[in-house]
C-alpha cells in the first residue's frame, strides 16, 4: 500500500474518532442540561398586594372638646384609643388614685368572683385616722375598733363611697406601711408604662398624686379586666358592718350605659372621672372606657360627670364595624413561569369592631411552601388585619389555577 494512502486512512480514522468523541460529549452535555432543567427547583410565586398597607375607616372622626384646662381620652376597650384632647401635662387625679391602690391589693391578694378574702381587723389607730380625716372633711367611711372587714368589703368601702381611711387601712394591711405600699403603686405604674403618672399616697388626698388622661385610660382598661374590680365599681350601693348602707359617689352609674369606674376631686386638680360604658355595635356588646381630668367648672364633679356622658354618647356614634367579605381580592400571585398573575381572595368574611377615622393596617404573609403549579383554591398565605391593639388573620386562596413551568421555560432557565 502506498505510503500516502496509508497516511490518508490513518488521518480519516483519527477524524472519525474525534468526531465520535465530540458527539458523545455533546450528547452528555445535552442530557446534563436537560436533566438540570427538569430537576432544578423553580422560584416560589410572589404574593403582590392589591390593597394599600393602611386604610382609614370612612366617617367623621370623633373630636373631643374638653373645657380648658381639662383633659379627655376615650377608647374602645381592648381595641384602641378613639380620641384624646387636652394635652399630656400631669395633673392631680384625686380619688382616681384608689384605682391603682385597689389593683395593687388585688395583685397581692387575688380574689375570685364570690370570694371575700381574709378578714382585716380595724385597730384603734385606724379609728383615730377616720376621726382626723372626717374632721378635715375628707371622704371617709365610719369604722369601729375591733370591727372585722373582709378584703372584699374593704375594697367595696374604698371604691363605692370612696373611703380615704379604708384605702389607707388596706395599704397598711397589704404592705406593712404607707411608704412601702406607695412604692408598689409606682412600680406597677412603671410596669404598665404609665410614664406621666406618679403616686404620693394611696387615697389621692395628696395633690402630688398626678397623671394624664391617656395614662388613666390605660389604667382603666387594665383595672376593668379584673372581674372583681369590675363588679365592685358597678355597684350602686353597698352595706358595711358599721357604716351600714353606703351609696356610690359616681352619679353617672346607669346613665347612657355607664357602669363604672371612679370619681375624684381636689381643688388643685378639679373634677376627675374614669368611666366605662356598655353599648352595642352590630348586635355585639362592647365597652367604651374613658377619662376626664382637671374639670374646673363651678361644680367640678357634676361637671366631670356631665362631660363624661357627652363623651360616651359621641363615642357611641363613632363606633362602627369593618367588614371584608369572603372572596375580596387582596393580592395577586405572580410567578416568572406563569403567563399571567392569579388573583388571590379572602377565604372567609372578616368583621372587626372599629371607629370612624380609625387607621386599619393590612399585611400579607406568603406561604413559602407554595411553588410550581397550584390548583384553584390553593391556600397561599394569610392577610393580617390590625385596628388599634387588636389583630385578625384570614386565609388567602387562589381564584384560579396557577400553571407550573413549561418544558420550554425550564430549558431556558436551568
Output the DSSP codes for 302-328. Answer: HHHHHHHHHHHHHHHHHEEEEEE-TT-
Q: What is the mean pLDDT of the chain?
A: 90
User: 126-184: per-residue pLDDT in tens?
Assistant: 999 999 999 999 999 999 999 999 999 999 999 999 999 999 999 999 999 999 999 99
User: 393-402: per-residue pLDDT in tens?
Assistant: 999 999 999 8
Q: Is 10 or 280 the better-scoring residue by pLDDT?
A: 280
CB count in 10 Å sphere of residue 183: 14
Considering the chain, what percentage of its residues have pLDDT values greater than 70?
87
- Does residue 274 surpass a pLDDT of 60? yes
Whole-number pLDDT of residue 139: 95
Whole-number pLDDT of residue 44: 78
- Does residue 407 surpass a pLDDT of 80? no
Whole-number pLDDT of residue 261: 97
> Distance between CA atoms of 241 and 308, rounded to whole angstroms?
33
- Show the cell assigned to 216: 388613666
Whole-number pLDDT of residue 297: 87
Quick one: which of 382, 395, 381 has its CA closest to 348?
395
- Does residue 27 surpass a pLDDT of 50? no
- Does residue 28 surpass a pLDDT of 70? no
Mapped onto helix, strand or coil, the DSSP state of residue 27 is: helix
Whole-number pLDDT of residue 14: 65
With beta carbons less than 8 A apart as the criterion, state whether 149 and 122 touch. Answer: yes
| Residue 251: HSE in the Cβ half-sphere, 13 Å Cα cutoff | 11
User: 191-207: per-residue pLDDT in tens?
Assistant: 999 999 999 999 999 99
CA 142 to chain centre: 40
> Distance between CA atoms of 145 and 130, rounded to whole angstroms?
11
**What does the DSSP 8-state code read for residue 328?**
-
> Distance between CA atoms of 231 and 385, rounded to whole angstroms?
33
Mean pLDDT in residue range 363-377: 83
Quick one: which of 175, 180, 143, 179 has its CA closest to 161?
143
Mean pLDDT in residue range 343-354: 96
- Show the cell assigned to 255: 346613665
Considering the chain, what percentage of its residues have pLDDT values greater than 90?
79
> Distance between CA atoms of 255 and 264, rounded to whole angstroms?
18
Q: Beta partners for 75?
A: 81, 289
User: 53-111: per-residue pLDDT in tens?
Assistant: 999 999 999 999 999 899 999 999 989 999 999 989 999 999 999 999 999 999 999 99
How far from each other are the two terminal CA atoms of the chain, in whole angstroms? 53
Q: Is 122 or 10 the better-scoring residue by pLDDT?
A: 122
CA 311 to chain centre: 21
**pLDDT confidence of 339, banded at 50, 70, 90?**
confident
> Distance between CA atoms of 342 and 375, rounded to whole angstroms?
11
Whole-number pLDDT of residue 406: 67
With beta carbons less than 8 A apart as the criterion, state whether 362 and 54 touch. Answer: yes
Q: What share of the chain is helix, strand, coil (3-state, %, to 5)?
A: 35, 30, 35
CA 346 to chain centre: 24
| Residue 264: HSE in the Cβ half-sphere, 13 Å Cα cutoff | 34
Greatest Cα pair distance, the chain, in angstroms, is 144
User: 217-265: per-residue pLDDT in tens?
Assistant: 999 999 999 999 999 999 999 999 999 999 999 999 999 999 999 999 9
> Distance between CA atoms of 254 and 278, rounded to whole angstroms?
10
Question: How far is CA 322 from each of CA 34, 283, 349, 352, 396, rounded to the nearest angstrom?
Answer: 53, 14, 11, 5, 18
**What does the DSSP 8-state code read for residue 41?**
P
Quick one: which of 81, 80, 83 has its CA closest to 72?
83
Whole-number pLDDT of residue 5: 54
Pairing of strands 329-334, 319-324: unpaired
CA angle 400, 405, 407 (to 5 degrees): 140
**pLDDT confidence of 3, banded at 50, 70, 90?**
low
Amino acid at each position: 500500500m502506498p505510503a500516502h494512502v496509508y497516511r490518508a486512512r490513518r488521518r480519516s480514522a483519527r477524524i472519525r474518532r474525534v468526531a465520535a468523541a465530540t458527539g458523545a460529549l455533546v450528547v452528555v452535555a445535552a442530557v446534563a442540561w436537560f436533566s438540570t432543567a427538569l430537576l432544578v427547583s423553580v422560584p416560589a410565586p410572589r404574593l403582590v398586594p392589591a390593597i394599600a398597607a393602611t386604610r382609614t375607616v370612612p366617617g367623621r372622626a370623633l373630636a373631643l372638646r374638653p373645657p380648658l384646662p381639662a383633659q379627655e381620652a376615650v377608647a374602645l376597650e381592648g381595641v384602641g384609643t378613639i380620641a384624646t384632647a387636652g394635652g399630656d401635662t400631669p395633673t392631680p387625679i384625686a380619688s382616681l388614685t384608689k384605682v391603682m391602690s385597689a389593683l395593687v391589693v388585688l395583685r397581692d391578694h387575688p380574689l375570685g368572683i364570690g370570694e371575700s378574702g381574709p378578714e382585716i381587723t380595724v385597730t384603734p389607730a385606724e379609728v383615730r385616722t377616720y376621726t382626723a380625716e372626717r374632721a378635715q372633711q375628707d371622704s371617709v367611711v365610719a369604722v369601729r375598733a375591733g370591727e372585722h372587714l373582709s378584703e372584699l368589703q374593704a375594697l367595696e368601702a374604698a371604691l363605692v363611697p370612696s373611703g380615704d381611711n379604708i384605702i389607707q387601712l388596706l395599704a397598711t394591711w397589704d404592705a406593712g406601711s404607707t411608704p412601702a405600699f406607695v412604692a408598689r403603686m409606682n412600680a406597677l405604674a412603671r410596669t404598665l408604662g404609665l410614664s406621666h403618672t406618679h403616686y404620693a399616697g394611696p387615697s389621692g388626698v395628696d395633690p402630688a398624686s398626678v397623671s394624664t388622661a391617656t395614662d388613666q385610660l390605660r389604667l382603666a382598661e387594665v383595672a376593668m379586666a379584673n372581674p372583681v374590680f369590675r363588679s365592685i365599681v358597678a355597684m350602686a350601693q353597698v352595706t358595711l358592718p358599721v357604716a351600714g348602707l353606703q351609696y356610690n359617689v359616681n352619679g353617672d352609674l346607669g346613665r347612657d350605659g355607664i357602669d363604672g369606674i371612679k370619681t375624684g376631686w381636689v381643688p388643685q386638680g378639679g373634677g376627675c372621672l374614669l368611666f366605662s360604658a356598655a353599648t352595642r355595635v352590630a348586635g355585639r356588646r362592647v365597652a367604651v372606657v374613658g377619662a376626664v381630668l382637671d374639670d374646673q367648672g363651678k361644680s367640678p364633679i357634676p361637671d366631670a360627670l356631665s362631660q363624661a356622658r357627652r363623651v360616651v354618647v359621641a363615642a357611641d356614634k363613632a363606633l362602627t364595624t369593618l367588614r371584608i367579605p369572603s372572596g375580596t381580592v387582596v393580592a395577586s400571585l405572580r410567578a416568572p413561569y406563569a403567563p399571567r398573575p392569579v388573583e388571590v381572595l379572602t377565604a372567609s368574611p372578616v368583621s372587626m369592631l372599629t371607629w370612624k377615622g380609625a387607621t386599619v393596617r393590612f399585611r400579607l404573609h406568603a406561604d413559602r411552601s407554595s411553588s410550581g403549579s397550584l390548583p384553584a383554591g390553593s391556600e397561599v398565605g394569610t392577610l393580617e388585619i390590625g385596628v388599634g391593639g387588636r389583630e385578625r388573620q384570614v386565609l388567602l386562596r387562589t381564584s384560579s389555577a396557577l400553571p407550573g413551568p413549561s418544558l420550554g421555560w425550564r430549558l431556558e432557565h436551568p
